[in-house]
Amino acid sequence: MSETRLTERAAELDAADELAKRRELFALDDGTVYLDGNSLGALPRHVQERMADVIGRQWGELRIRSWGESGWWTAPERIGERIAPLLGAAPGQIVVGDSTSVNVFKAVVAAVRMAPADRDEIVVDATTFPTDGYIAESAARLTGHRTVVVDPADVPDAVGPRTAAALVNHVDYRTGRLHDLPGITAALHARGALAVWDLCHSAGALPVGLDEHGVDLAVGCTYKYLNGGPGSPAYLYVAERHQGRFDSPLPGWNSHADPFGMTPGYTPAEGAVRGRVGTPDILSMLALEAALDVWDGVTVEAVRAKSLALTDFFLECVDAYVPAGRVTSLTPAAHAERGSQVALACPDAPTVMEALIARGVVGDLRRPDVLRFGFTPLYVGFADAEHAARVLAEVLAGVNSPPSG
Ligand SMILES: *Cc1c(COP(=O)(O)O)cnc(C)c1O
């Protein structure tokens, strides 16, 4: 299809897009197509003003009173409730705090402590974002377990009578492949093991259905599709049926039944609060809370529909503009297996991504040879997708040209 035709199509798709107006809520400049929201979500404009109040009034004027009067103390649970509907979780099961890495540790250790003692294996996703693998390995050493590392598709076959739990990424951060959360969770349960999911690349991008699919524990970060800001705190989901047996490996005073009792002995609080550790990072947490306002009135189903349409359209434009064989999509064509990003393998990816960024198309590089483009439906449109593919083709043509003079 010709460039004119694709430009027209983009305009039609943008005109019909019910989410198009959400873009105004974000601080974005017209000269840039931001396709890195799967790494750091863009800033919702109003967060700056909200933080001026948090810093100036809540901290500056109320000071210590804000733990109660400004709701600081209960922020981890309160913000968990804001995230819950996006993950298909009923209230009371999500707490916000710490990094994803730390929550992986809590979840994996808690899962193996829940499992029968003769189950001494932890199955780990071989394609996982590295931090999960490192931490699962350490958790295994600490608890006297061993890890069994397999591809997500092979998890059902790897699970046996010795499996305590499996830790799997919902979406592969590198290729954008979406794994079968319902199927893998069911296979684990059928063999008596627990399912721990990392939702970093699915929360805010597609429906997860934690309760519906009976997930046991889950973690994820909030600075990607949830736009919480750099290093904003992660979340931990503990299914209600497991909360009574959730034995945290980091039982800090914030998870105590009576934190201000200051007793030497530890008695865990009931509910999701049990996943807390120490004093929450209030500034980051309240920036996240403000950022979540952009989801008011948006369904994750609408986001998913637009995400698939955007990635389809981007792939179509790449196909039309980029000479055959120059890049290879690593992202599955099947919707059921696709997250919200497109990963293109390209031999000279580092040079190409540098040139793209210089021309205002911001994706990122996953070494050695992957160009990653994240599509965030709240602020990326179809014209952006067409423009990005066109600039990619131009850059590839330039990079290919023989050196002159
Ligand atoms: C981004 C990401 C992380 C990041 O963990 P941090 O502790 O926030 O640095 C972890 N797991 C996955 C799958 C990710 O995509």
pLDDT tens-digit series, residues 262-282: 999 999 999 999 999 999 999
Partners of 341 in beta bridges:
374
Binding residue ranges for pyridoxal 5'-phosphate? 100-101, 129-132, 198, 201, 223, 253, 279
pLDDT at 400: 57
The reply to whether ligand 1 has any atom less than 6 angstroms from the CB of 101 is: yes
Question: What amino acid occupies position 392?
Answer: L
- At 399, the pLDDT band (50, 70, 90 cuts) reads confident
**What would the mean pLDDT of 44-54 be, rounded to a whole number?**
98
263 is in which domain, residue-wise?
Answer: 49-295
- The CA distance from 222 to 231, in Å, is 8
Same domain, residue pair 62 and 96: yes
pLDDT at 356: 98
pLDDT at 401 over 80: no
Average of per-residue pLDDT values in the chain:
97
Give the number of domains in the chain. 2
Same domain, residue pair 140 and 153: yes
Q: What is the DSSP letter of 322?
A: S
Same domain, residue pair 56 and 106: yes
Q: Where are the alpha helices (DSSP H) in 173-271?
A: 181-190
Q: Is residue 222 part of a domain?
A: yes
pLDDT at 2 over 90: no
Distance 148 CA to ligand 1 centre (A): 21
**What would the mean pLDDT of 326-355 be, rounded to a whole number?**
97
| Sheet of strand 370-374, all strands in order from the earlier edge strand to the far edge | 328-329, 341-345, 370-374, 364-366
pLDDT at 405: 39
- At 33, the pLDDT band (50, 70, 90 cuts) reads very high
Same domain, residue pair 286 and 157: yes
Domain boundary among 242, 276, 295: 295
Q: Where are the alpha helices (DSSP H) in 115-255?
A: 130-143, 155-158, 181-190
Q: What is the pLDDT of residues 91-135, one digit of tens each?
A: 999 999 999 999 999 999 999 999 999 999 999 999 999 999 999
Domain boundary among 295, 318, 346: 295
Same domain, residue pair 253 and 307: no
Q: What is the pLDDT of residues 141-151, one digit of tens each?
A: 999 999 999 99
pLDDT at 1: 67
The percentage of residues in the chain with a pLDDT greater than 70, rounded to a whole number, is 98
Buried b (16+ CB within 10 A) or exposed e, 195-210: bbbbbbbbbbbbebbb
Q: Six-digit token pair at 50?
A: 């909200």
The atom of ligand 1 lying closest to the CA of 198 is 13
The reply to whether ligand 1 has any atom less than 6 angstroms from the CB of 129 is: yes
pLDDT at 402 over 50: no
Nearest to 167 by CA among 144, 199, 213, 142: 199
Same domain, residue pair 218 and 253: yes
Q: Between these two residues, 400 and 374, which has the higher pLDDT value?
A: 374
pLDDT at 3: 86
Domain boundary among 274, 295, 316: 295
- At 404, the pLDDT band (50, 70, 90 cuts) reads very low
The reply to whether ligand 1 has any atom less than 6 angstroms from the CB of 215 is: no
Binding residue ranges? 100-101, 129-132, 198, 201, 223, 253, 279
Q: Catalytic annotation on 29?
A: no
The atom of ligand 1 lying closest to the CA of 173 is 15
Same domain, residue pair 184 and 303: no
Same domain, residue pair 349 and 312: yes
Q: Which residue of the set 223, 314, 379, 382 is catalytic? A: 223
- The CA distance from 126 to 133, in Å, is 8
pLDDT at 273: 97
Q: What is the pLDDT of residues 55-100, one digit of tens each?
A: 999 999 999 999 999 999 999 999 999 999 999 999 999 999 999 9
